[in-house]
Structure 1
């Protein structure tokens, strides 16, 4: 009985090793490029000094923007926005995302009144 179990185990082991064959290693494949080493090196230098085609947002470099707005108008809008006391007001900072009434109307006036 004991020898039959050993024979059966050996047979199963042989079947398992025969069924678990891996791929054969064929080594490193030969290069199939027709470009010379100097051509590839010159292409690499051009690619290294060129723009990144995969860049997004801030990494994409300087972008040229064609604007039709007057410089003085844009500056005056920027100054007005910078002096707005409620510019950075975020409704999420308040209870139940509701801005209190005292913050809805600016209490500070930036206009000058002539004194009589």
Structure 2
């Protein structure tokens, strides 16, 4: 538990320092929000890969954020197809889906694009 809190504080401090550093640089400033968002997606997907299902509250506690904030972030990333999981908002459970499913969906999208053109 103590190690988790240290990890969360180090990660949030790293994100803050990186955001501050990149915001002050004239060449990196336009890319700051993109880079921080990609870091969040990577951290969330690494955390989700460790479990087949987990509760939204436990994941929010792991990252040191509120469940409402995490719910909004996950909803956005799941809807855009960046995270391979399903969210049951009623029970507050996240279920990871396998990459094979996402490969199938992307192949079907490619086939449908080819047939439409």
Q: TM-score, normalized by length of structure 1?
A: 0.24
Q: TM-score, normalized by length of structure 2?
A: 0.24
Kindly name which structure, 1 or 2, has the bigger radius of gyration based on alpha carbons: 1
Question: Which one has the bigger strand percentage?
Answer: 2
